Amino acid sequence: MKIGIIGLGYVGLPLGLQFARSGVEVLGLDIDQSKIDVLNAGGSFIEHIPAANVKEQVDAGRFSATVDFARVKEVEAVLIAVPTPLNKNREPDISYVLKSGEAIAPHLPKGITVVLESTTYPGTTDEPLREVLEKGSGLKAGVDFHLAYSPEREDPGNPDSKVAIIPKVIGGYTPACLEKAMAVYGTAIKTLVPVSSCRAAEATKLLENIFRGVNIALVNELKQVYAAMDIDVWEVINAAKTKPFGYMAFYPGPGLGGHCIPIDPFYLTWKAREFDQSTKFIELAGEVNTAMPMYVVHQTIEALNSMKKSVNGSRILMMGIAYKPNVDDDRESPSYHLLDYFSERGGELDYYDPHVPVIRPSREHPHWAGKKCVHWNKETISSYDVVVIATDHKKVDYAELAQWAPLIVDTRNAMKGIETKPGQLWRA
């Protein structure tokens, strides 16, 4: 079997490598020529995917990459794993999905299986994507080609997250489409979970991420309530998670990050309005999580005030640009909102992140692109008025931070167990 994968990022690349390891020939497709060049040379541009893993499959002839979308005529199946962001009005933007469909449609051979993996609202696969594919190819879904949806389940930075062993949900446009998609994924994934339709599979992915978003909002709200009561929310959570049933631990932070949880709930709330359904619970959770960076700002203002300083003119070091620990993925990171808020108030901003040496261009925060990580040494760290821990990377020596930084605002409980001076550590 030979398959194509459109989008060679945090989802598409590990998926492609897993298929290649399973003996499937993989053709990666992307519009970024620089990515293509790196991959074909056996390199990697994602920190947690070693270049050796890519090189092994390239050298074996099982993985190659191209910008030529016409080459989908060579494959038996094509999987689409492209971004599905929100536009400036916080509405779903499926343009990358539809442009991918338009690019491959004229070249689809009869019998090919097309599977969408990008997170989206129910109905995307069997309505706009199907229409684009049918219009551009002259073929009919469910008759001339097979169409399905199978949501990605990537967890970057988690060593226990292996593509091969994470159960794969699959929904087909028709029963025959489901059968074909199952056959494709069955070559590389151990456990397959068939559902009745593409829409059921799309809804499954949204439920998974909305579940996380709502529960994170709950502990974010409790963090503020318990702080007012002088109760440590982290202590409470650690005690609660000893209950062996009926409880699952979620942890507070400075806001949501990543390409899934800050975005995906809005895909459902937008679609629900088409059916005259309200999603008050989801929207309220979104409001709580969106407000968390400002809570951190207010706590930092209080911390600086305790030192008779204001944000205006203070040197502030953001500890962590990646949205989660131990990865280089900075998409939708709340750190950018913090940088913006402090900068607007006259703060002088720098950052330290051992996984992000230089801030890459993004359409959400282009003004920070090119800014470089500062050096980790006593002279540098001690020169800042306050250090705000936004991401708790394991590579950071927090004992040294306590020795060097005059003031620390901790949003992740990273300083737990570290000896600090009176008034030095603030929680946010």
pLDDT (tens digit per residue) in 207-248: 999 999 999 999 999 999 999 999 999 999 999 999 999 999
Distance (Å, whole) CA 348 – CA 309: 13
* pLDDT tens-digit map of 284-334: 999 999 999 999 999 999 999 999 999 999 999 999 999 999 999 998 899
Q: Which two tokens stand for residue 225?
A: 């309530």
* pLDDT tens-digit map of 44-94: 999 989 999 999 999 999 999 999 999 999 999 999 999 999 888 888 999
* pLDDT tens-digit map of 195-212: 999 999 999 999 999 999
- Indicate the domain borders of the chain: 2-196, 264-427
Q: What is the pLDDT of residue 26?
A: 98
Tell me which residue of 49, 48, 31 sits closest to 16, measured CA to CA: 49
Q: How many residues does the chain have?
A: 428
**200 sits in which H/E element:** helix 198-228
Cα distances from 17 to residues 24, 119, 161, in angstroms, run: 9, 20, 14
Helix (H, G, I), strand (E, B) or coil at 29: strand
Place of tokens 């607007």: 344
Distance (Å, whole) CA 33 – CA 373: 26
Distance (Å, whole) CA 129 – CA 147: 9
Q: What is the pLDDT of residue 69?
A: 97
Q: What is the pLDDT of residue 384?
A: 98
Burial (CB count <10 Å: 0-12, 13-18, 19+), residue 387: buried
Q: What is the pLDDT of residue 154?
A: 83
Contact indicator for 327, 157 with CB cutoff of 8 Å = yes
Distance (Å, whole) CA 318 – CA 228: 25
Active-site positions?
Answer: 260
pTM score of the predicted model? 0.92
Q: What is the mean pLDDT of residues 121-139?
A: 98
Q: How confident is the model at residue 362 (pLDDT cuts 50, 70, 90)?
A: confident
Q: What is the pLDDT of residue 88?
A: 81
Query: CATH number of the domain at 264-427, please?
Result: 3.40.50.720
- For 351, phi then psi, to 5°, come to -145, 155
Q: What is the mean pLDDT of residues 16-43?
A: 97
With a cut of 90, say whether residue 261 has pLDDT above it.
no
Provide the pairing of β-strand 146-149 with 168-172: antiparallel
Could you check whether 2-196 and 264-427 share the same CATH topology?
yes
Domain 2-196 has CATH 3.10.180.10: no
Q: Which two tokens stand for residue 21?
A: 């390891």
